[in-house]
Amino acid sequence: EAQVTQNPRYLITVTGKKLTVTCSQNMNHEYMSWYRQDPGLGLRQIYYSMNVEVTDKGDVPEGYKVSRKEKRNFPLILESPSPNQTSLYFCASSPRGVAGVYEQYFGPGTRLTVT
Amino acid sequence: GQQVMQIPQYQHVQEGEDFTTYCNSSTTLSNIQWYKQRPGGHPVFLIQLVKSGEVKKQKRLTFQFGEAKKNSSLHITATQTTDVGTYFCRVRGNKLVFGAGTILRVKS
């Protein structure tokens, strides 16, 4: 089944404790992206990747890191989480690098709480 | 800079009533996509519009792209409880952005 998977689905952590949220897609998509969703603000892009070893900042990249060593995986790293990073996070992928032309496939989401 | 606004932010309708959400941009768009997110779920792609004045239909849903390619609408005829959720537009102007979404609640 074609899908985007994220782990963990739920995470409660403390300020400053490094964490990684994994994202994997099995559709051989070139484009992958991370979003955070907060009430009233919609989906804001954190980072995106047009292909392996190619990543770029989105609208809200501060406090986050990403890597794209393999085509299928695009982990999101929070080196020192803070409470303002409490949010619902979505990973998404698209078939091509020109992502605006193609639909995005979203993972199930990761709800992160930082205390 | 590019701004996109979705209106209304929230709408509560009686089952069977119609519903419309609008996506308005400050700049001309090359295309627009619509997504639906059910409560507790993830966004799911509905449709993409590319041409000026384009109208597409999916059963009870009608999507329209404005003549000036600066706005779009999603209209649902005779809403059902299965229509509840948040509807997002995703636009491509000088960059790709999602609108803040319109939350639809349906009273049965």
Instruction: Please write the tens of the pLDDT for every residue from B25-68.
Output: 999 999 999 999 999 999 999 999 999 999 999 999 999 999 99
CA angle B18, B21, B25 (to 5 degrees): 160
Which of B15, B14, B19, B16 is closest to B87 using CA atoms? B19
| B window 1-30, beta carbon within 8 A of A | 6, 9, 30
Residue B48 is which amino acid?
Answer: Q
> pLDDT by residue (tens digit) across B80-100?
999 999 999 999 877 788 999
pLDDT at A64: 98
pLDDT at A97: 57
Q: Which residues of chain A have pLDDT under 70?
A: 97-100
B92 shares contact with chain A (CB less than 8 Å): yes
* Whole-number Å distance between alpha carbons of B43 and B36: 5
pLDDT at A82: 98
CB contact under 8 A, B100 and A104: no
User: Which residues, 6 or more positions from B5, have their beta carbon under 8 angstroms from its beta carbon?
Assistant: B23, B24, B25, B99, B100
pLDDT at B95: 78
pLDDT at A111: 98
Going by pLDDT thresholds of 50, 70 and 90, the confidence category of residue B79 is very high
How many residue pairs bridge chain A and chain B with CB atoms within 8 Å of each other?
45
User: Which residue is it, tokens 């199930």?
Assistant: A108
| Closest residue to A100, CB basis, from B9, B30, B101 | B30
* Whole-number Å distance between alpha carbons of B86 and B104: 6
